Amino acid sequence: MPRLDDRRVLSGIFWVLRSGAPWRDLPERYGPRTTCYNRLVRWRKAGVWDRMMDAITAAHDGDIQMIDSTSVRAHQQAATAKRGIEIIVSVAPEAGSRPKSTLSSTDKASRSG
């Protein structure tokens, strides 16, 4: 059996990574899923992905800030999260510090009614 074209395999790898689907759901047009997965792993171990990213960065004088333009959407129930749960988004040193204020115990008691 002849070797599968690298472009076709790359497209299959990117399809799985972009969609988040399991390898078993890879469409047949990209070739056997085991071929795509095995090349992903083999290229990772051989440093191919690192060299590719280095080449892209060098071609743009290090000005690359984002390659993937995927957008992340919150689930509709995320807007109804329980109160009192602190979500820390920042990576600043003070982000891990304790909250400056908390709900008083009387507020909690009146809600549990």
How high is the pLDDT of residue 77? 56
Report the predicted TM-score, pTM, of the whole model to 2 decimal places: 0.53
Query: Does residue 101 carry a pLDDT above 80?
Result: no
Q: Note the pLDDT tens digit of each residue in 85-97.
A: 555 555 555 545 5
* Both structure tokens of 98: 């304790």
Residue pLDDT, tens place only, 24-69: 999 999 999 999 999 999 999 999 999 988 888 888 876 766 655 5
Contact (Cβ atoms closer than 8 angstroms) between residue 26 and residue 36: yes
pLDDT of residue 42: 95
pLDDT number for residue 65: 64
Token readout for 48 is 């191919």
Instruction: Tell me the average pLDDT across 92-110.
Output: 53
Q: Which candidate, 44, 23, 58, 72, places its Cα nearest to that of 15?
A: 23
